[in-house]
Structure 1
Amino acid sequence: MNGHFVISLDYEIHWGVFDKRSVEDYKQNLQNVGLVIDRLLELSKKYNVKLTFATVGFLFAKDKDELKAFSPKNKPTYNDKKFSPYPMLDSIGHDENDDPFHYALSGINKIKADGNHEIGTHTFCHYYCHIPGQNIAQFDDDLNSAIKIAEKREVPIKSLVFPRNMIDPHKAVDQPILDVLKKHGIASFRGKENSFIYNIHITKFYKNWLIFKVLKFLDAYVNITGSNTYDVFKINNDKSLINLPSSRMLRAYSNKFKKFESLKLKRIKKGMTKAAKKNEMFHLWWHPHNFGAQTEQNFANLEEIFKTYKSLNKDYNFESSTMTELTNKIKASL
């Protein structure tokens, strides 16, 4: 099988940062997400690149009544209540017209109408699997709600991205989480890079969070963890659930570090080239709201990446696939 280029986008708007930032604190990024979605669809069409939009279930709701109606009775009981979005529901707007920070059905409909991309799930409420206090039954009910509200929009959910990448697929403690995915017909998920700086349990290592944050930042510009490309057959032997790990997060353009933008792009393009030559997978990801500020610079960077993809597609038959498209190819060959 040829090498594959996978892009997954954590589509969440304010639900992805509600425990860290208010709407006012992050307003520019959040209010431009709709425009970012439009431009992503336009640019991906130009270069024939396929995207997987891992979408928070809340965003499928047409209004607050529907959001509450699909919410599970068994909600996450985090020890630290700030991680639960449910207390916020009474204070958000009624629908997307008066609150585009917490609803996105129009954006979902545009992605669906495009027909070239996949809509996956980012759980129903941006569920944190490694935060103490929640349990597997609550995660099960959350995922069921995510699938049911998507079904109402005639969107089949076959892939999942864990919020904050809270999954350790090689550890026994997280096997029940993966079993829930199988139960609900999820065929693939985005795992983490195969490096110690990414594969840490957030609660266990919280006291060292700054060290890992710095290392991850540096890894975007200089080679600390390698290319993180994958032979998808070596890392998967279970047909029932396919792991498509992250290779690199596309960090947003930064005026503060603009002198190093070329290093960031070079690192990504080198990884893509290795994957193309070795028939491996390169999996890039970010959040649409990352492009809400410095939008022109961010899309200029993305277009450079897409141009590299087109060149690799021509020279090595490097293929752009959604998560489910690649999953189906892997399953057919296992």
Structure 2
Amino acid sequence: MNTGTFTISIDFELYWGVRDTRSLDAFRDHLDGVGQAIPRMLNLFEQHRIHATWATVGLIFCRDREAALSAAPSKRPGYKNSALCPYRYLEQSADLDERYHFAPELVELIAATPGQEVASHTFSHYYCREAGQTAAAFRADLAAAVRIAATQGITLRSLVFPRNQWNPDYLEVLVEHGITAYRGNERGWLYAATDHDGQNAVRRIGRLLDSYVDLSGHHTYTLESCVGRLPLNFPASRFLRPYNPRLAWLEGLRLRRITRAMRHASRNHEVFHLWWHPHNFGVDTDQNIDFLERVIEEFESLRRQDGMRSLGMAELADAVAA
């Protein structure tokens, strides 16, 4: 390919993504801001003709607890750590606030915005590397995700593994359900796919530092390197770490870390793949949107200078096949 590519994927989870690690009270502010952050992102994307892939937990498609339980697969993951499974919580939580768990209207808004792909983040925010779960349970989960998306007229073509726990043993299951693209992890030990226990403090601190100072490289790649058997792996290049008031004095470094990689990708005809969660913009929303605008301004400059293009994950798969 004789042009660079800017790819965005967004992991849309609501409380399902953090339920086993954060109390709702501790995370409420982040979730309260999602309903304002997503329309602002979509407005930016439409204004600048940015294509993005929204990997959405299947439960979010549902309107309430009853609909979620009706759509859930009968075969459920038998995690050794039972706290990881959302179904007991879904069934027994006395005060399940729908605002933090279900948002079919936001899914509809994303799907209706030009250039936006609604993709899968599995049905239940399924953890593919945790002890006790199986390929059979994953297959049932993904089938449920495909079914619930179809109720809104959406065909799933791409997937992001929750917690980036991509599992090579499960890739054939993706193909069985029509998934042709997934987001793999950045290269290197800092970003290796592991279970929860494997994500130790050294890795977390290393990734934090790598957001500001180049410790691990640009993590860009050619589309030709992605050619192979389906599903195709389009690895992440960088997590768009949210604004932190305590680290505001480092914002220039954070932006430079991203824009240097974008320029490298553009001039070497490679892919730069940026990702984040909507809840990352749920607090300090103005600062996070302003930062995203600066990233998009860099893309606009590279589009003018080098012809860099914006493609979602399914479009990347189409470009490889072309």
Task: State TM-score, norm by structure 2.
Answer: 0.96
Specify which of 221, 244, 255 is matched with residue 212 of structure 2: 221
Please tell me whether the aligned partners of residues 236 and 273 of structure 2 are also in contact (alpha carbons under 8 angstroms). yes
In structure 2, distance between residues paired with 1:59 and 1:163 = 14
Cα displacement (A) at 1:204: 7.1
Specify which of 228, 234, 258 is matched with residue 237 of structure 1: 228
Cα displacement (A) at 1:87: 1.1
Cα deviation 1:303-325 (Å, max 9, x = unaligned):
00000000000111100011111
Aligned to 2:254: 264
SS in 2 for 1:100: helix
In structure 2, distance between residues paired with 1:52 and 1:175 = 21
Cα displacement (A) at 1:241: 1.4
Cα displacement (A) at 1:4: 0.7
**Mapping 1:300-311, distance limit 5 Å:** 300-311=290-301
Please tell me whether the aligned partners of residues 64 and 98 of structure 2 are also in contact (alpha carbons under 8 angstroms). no
SS in 2 for 1:5: strand
Amino acid at match of 1:133: G
Aligned to 2:169: 176
Which runs of 5 or more structure 1 residues have no equivalent in the other structure? 168-173
In structure 2, distance between residues paired with 1:244 and 1:143 = 19
Specify which of 297, 304, 308 is matched with residue 318 of structure 1: 308
* Residue 190 in structure 1 maps to residue 183 in structure 2: yes
Cα displacement (A) at 1:203: 5.7
Please tell me whether the aligned partners of residues 183 and 235 of structure 2 are also in contact (alpha carbons under 8 angstroms). yes
More helix by share: 2
Aligned to 1:77: 78
In structure 2, distance between residues paired with 1:93 and 1:179 = 38
SS in 2 for 1:45: helix
Q: What do you get for the CA RMSD once the two structures are aligned? A: 1.3
Please tell me whether the aligned partners of residues 186 and 219 of structure 2 are also in contact (alpha carbons under 8 angstroms). yes
Cα displacement (A) at 1:115: 3.1
Aligned to 1:27: 28
**Mapping 1:105-116, distance limit 5 Å:** 105-116=104-115
Q: 1:228 to 1:92 in 2, by over 3 A?
A: farther
Identity of aligned residues (%): 37
Specify which of 237, 241, 245 is matched with residue 251 of structure 1: 241
In structure 2, distance between residues paired with 1:105 and 1:202 = 30
Amino acid at match of 2:185: K
Q: 1:204 to 1:102 in 2, by over 3 A?
A: closer
Which runs of 5 or more structure 2 residues have no equivalent in the other structure? none
In structure 1, distance between residues paired with 2:41 and 2:95 = 26
Please tell me whether the aligned partners of residues 57 and 121 of structure 2 are also in contact (alpha carbons under 8 angstroms). yes
Aligned to 2:39: 38
Please tell me whether the aligned partners of residues 58 and 124 of structure 2 are also in contact (alpha carbons under 8 angstroms). yes
Cα displacement (A) at 1:205: 3.6
* Residue 280 in structure 1 maps to residue 270 in structure 2: yes
**Mapping 1:83-162, distance limit 5 Å:** 83-90=84-91, 91=93, 99-162=98-161
Q: 1:203 to 1:40 in 2, by over 3 A?
A: closer
SS in 1 for 2:191: coil
Please tell me whether the aligned partners of residues 93 and 99 of structure 1 are also in contact (alpha carbons under 8 angstroms). no
Please tell me whether the aligned partners of residues 7 and 51 of structure 1 are also in contact (alpha carbons under 8 angstroms). yes
Aligned to 1:47: 48
Amino acid at match of 1:212: R
User: For this pair of structures, how many residues does the alignment match?
Assistant: 320
Cα deviation 1:28-85 (Å, max 9, x = unaligned):
1101101111101111112111111000000001222221111011101100011111
